[in-house]
Amino acid sequence: MKTEIKMPKLGESLTEGTVLKWWKKVGDSVKKDETLLEIATDKVDSEIPSPADGILVEILAKENETVAVGQIIAYIETDHSASLLSPEKSLSKKEKTEKLKKAKDEKAFSIHPAVKLSQPVVEKKQEKNRFYSPLVMNIARKESISMSELEKIPGSGAGNRVSKKDILNYLQSKSGKPSAVISSSGKEKGIEFIPMDHVRKQIAMHMRQSLETSAHVYSVSECDMTGVMNLINTHREQFMNQEGFKLTITPFVLYAVARALKDFPMVNSSIEGENIIQKKDINLGIAVAASRGLIVPVIHNAEEKNFTGIARALNEIVIKARENKLTLKDIEGSTFTITNYGIFGNIIGLPIIHQPNVAILGIGAIKKRPVVLEHPGGDSIGIRSMTLISMSYDHRLVDGELGGKFMRQVVEYLENFKEKIL
């Protein structure tokens, strides 16, 4: 009996996955729970185990192919006796491979007949609610393809979905020559074309999607971090001895943000259609520059943690991110995001909102500089450790007043930090 292997749904918001690597090939035996393949989503990579003992008899999704959730990607024959008695067992390995290839080619032809580029594309009936990926939409915009024209392009993906290859073939059939959006895989004088890996493609797609989704507005506040820096310098050695990791400014920022979100819960929300979804839990996403690209692991229920608890959770999640050991739970459910571009010496940045959050806060580098200090008896000039805090927020929900008050509260908590460190 053949068992279907389908693209699994690894998260509520996931609609597709990309096959990174097949650990087994056609004809290999596989045991239940043994790794069958590795897939990548826009959130995390996962090894997929076999659901049963058997023999991998057919692979429908090739490596680097993106497949919709629920689509069949392979078959396992679990009836060992049928496999042993199968006439295919008497064929050579080469004959079985050729036979399987021929059958797959015939199946592909019967489902998606090839369209010759010299022939006009046959118009199809317009399909409502047809999904188009951001990449396909971007190509359509660049090539001035209208929605009505796009709806007529035959799709080879699941549910007649139009892939990059489909739209490029369509453009080539119109012009009789390759489209300008097709990048060369070779080298030209002084230029090298480097294909994006899966992670970089996903980052590019999400950044573009966020800009198209949210009405980005930006604000910047100045913050005196002298008190925080004094606490770090005072407790640095004792903290390292007790906790086993360095005390940095990031947990101070996370703690201040968590408190400010309790004061202004509307910033801890998301938008779905015409509804505002206000979150009760405060789950802080932390932008981390890992070896494979930017990722945003999450500290869940930050409102329930004291300063030391947040520092421990931050250290743990950053280590997992940099060692590529994050699970899906570690990266889902953020309600607000923080990024620290100051670690690279940048004094200010305007980050893109991490969807579906409505705001992201960034911390710049801390610099000592002369500042006017106000006193009842008169002003003076002192050397203070100053930073600039920026916030990008979705103007569909967060107005300037709410955004400004929230940032002011974060600054207030940082400038007057009175929590217990150890």
* Catalytic (active-site) positions: 395, 399
- Looking up tokens 């007790």 gives 242
What six digits make up the tokens of 217? Answer: 């507005």
Q: How far is CA 116 from CA 113, 122, 164, in A?
A: 9, 11, 17
Give the Cβ contact number of residue 147 at 10 Å. Answer: 11
What six digits make up the tokens of 269? Answer: 């929300």
**Contact at 8 Å (CB) between 313 and 341?**
no
Run of H or E including 290: strand 288-290
**Contact at 8 Å (CB) between 291 and 324?**
yes
Phi, psi of 355 (to 5 degrees): -65, 145
**Contact at 8 Å (CB) between 26 and 100?**
yes
- Looking up tokens 């997929």 gives 48
Give the Cβ contact number of residue 422 at 10 Å. Answer: 11
Could you please report the per-residue DSSP string of 351-376?
Answer: PPP-TT-SEEEEE---EEEEEEE--T
What six digits make up the tokens of 289? Answer: 């520059």
What six digits make up the tokens of 197? Answer: 């890996």
**Contact at 8 Å (CB) between 68 and 161?**
yes
